[in-house]
Amino acid sequence: MNTKINSATVTWITYLNFGTFLQAYALQKSILKLGYNNKILCDRRIVTPKRRFSLRMFLRKIKLRILNRDLSERLYKKFKKKHLIIDTEIDFKKINAKYQVMLCGSDQIWSPYLKFTPYYYLDFYHGKKIAYAPSIGTATWPKEYITNTKPLLRQFSALSVREKESAIALNQELGLEVHTVLDPTLLLRGEEWKQQLLEKDKRQGGYILCYFLTPTSWYLEYVKEYAKEQNKSIKIFDTHSEYSHFGENVAAGPQEFLSMINAADEIFTDSFHATIFSILFHKKFVTFKRFKDGGEKDQNLRLYNLFTLLDLKDYFIGEEELGTLSTLNQPNYKEIDIKLEKLRNDSLSYLKKSLSE
């Protein structure tokens, strides 16, 4: 493999989210393992709004410091500095001169529900372009989505997305081959991820871990009652003010997120990536539906796709299905690992072929 080939990845890396940082890490590590140089372009200028001073913002920052909520931000910065190779260059002319190939990374950077941002479709780059698993999250989209993206997507030498239904719909729109590949976090096995756990982590089991992106009353109430019945404590990542009286609130960065999932007895979540790491670490878990099936801006498709691939659909629960939770057994991880290994090899083959051709 030619180690002199320089590649760069465009993805979210400013937005503080566990899965966002970990998918960026996993894709970069996978590219490096294939023998290519790789850096992630810093997208701060794309996602950071102009700062305006207000007394309200100032007082909120003081409150966060008093509550030590800013600890999470420091942990993210520590992870980025230690584990990610970032290029902070902002001159597109210089970026074009540096890199022989550019990748659009994963996460929801191609979502039709977000503001259209040409940067995430590599509009500024004039060389070889590859898409690896950006999540569209739906098989239907507004007409202007294809109008905006079609000219840019036709410039890619290799196209892939995370969801099968999105790939089929995009193929029909573009008339181009669109592959379905795994989220980058699944390109690494569970044991590889465990190497990233805190070396001196002293956390023990005996607790239920929650990571909820949305404070939805029906699953908060369910977990509270379940923990009481099981006589177990609840730990919850401190991502919303409504969680302040719900179990032990925990400040964390990506590394602490991995460590706590690994140590927990059970995981309850509505997060795609918390689901993935529960599976990779062979945990007992349940994933709740954040969105109503078929509702406006429904983003359940990416989780349906994952659960269908691994035959785990019973573990994706809506409010009307709460009664089935008591019948769930531990997933058969021996069978799941076999399925994952094949899917992992197929996805790595796509990545390797796309880079080398």
| Closest by Cα among 25, 26, 44 to 85 | 25
Under the banding of pLDDT at 50, 70 and 90, the label for residue 139 is: confident
Percentage of the chain beyond pLDDT 70 is 88
- Residue-wise pLDDT tens digits, 52-82: 444 554 454 455 444 545 889 999 999 999 9
pTM of the model: 0.91
Q: 155 is written with which tokens?
A: 């410039």
What are the backbone angles phi and psi of residue 290, rounded to the nearest 5°?
A: -75, -30
- Residue-wise pLDDT tens digits, 325-351: 888 989 999 999 999 999 999 999 999
For the stretch 289-326, what's the b/e string if a residue is b when 16 or more beta carbons lie within 10 angstroms of its beta carbon?
bbbeeeeeebbbbbbbbbbebbebeebbbeeeeeeeee
- Residue-wise pLDDT tens digits, 190-240: 999 998 876 665 567 789 999 999 899 999 999 999 999 999 999 999 888
Torsion of CA 45, 50, 53, 55, to 10 degrees: -90
Provide the sign of the torsion angle of the four alpha carbons 329, 135, 213, 200, taken in this order.
positive
User: Residues near 88 by Cβ (< 8 Å), separated by ≥ 6?
Assistant: 42
- Residue-wise pLDDT tens digits, 143-194: 899 899 999 999 999 999 998 888 998 999 888 899 999 999 999 999 999 9
The residue to which tokens 């785990």 are assigned? 312
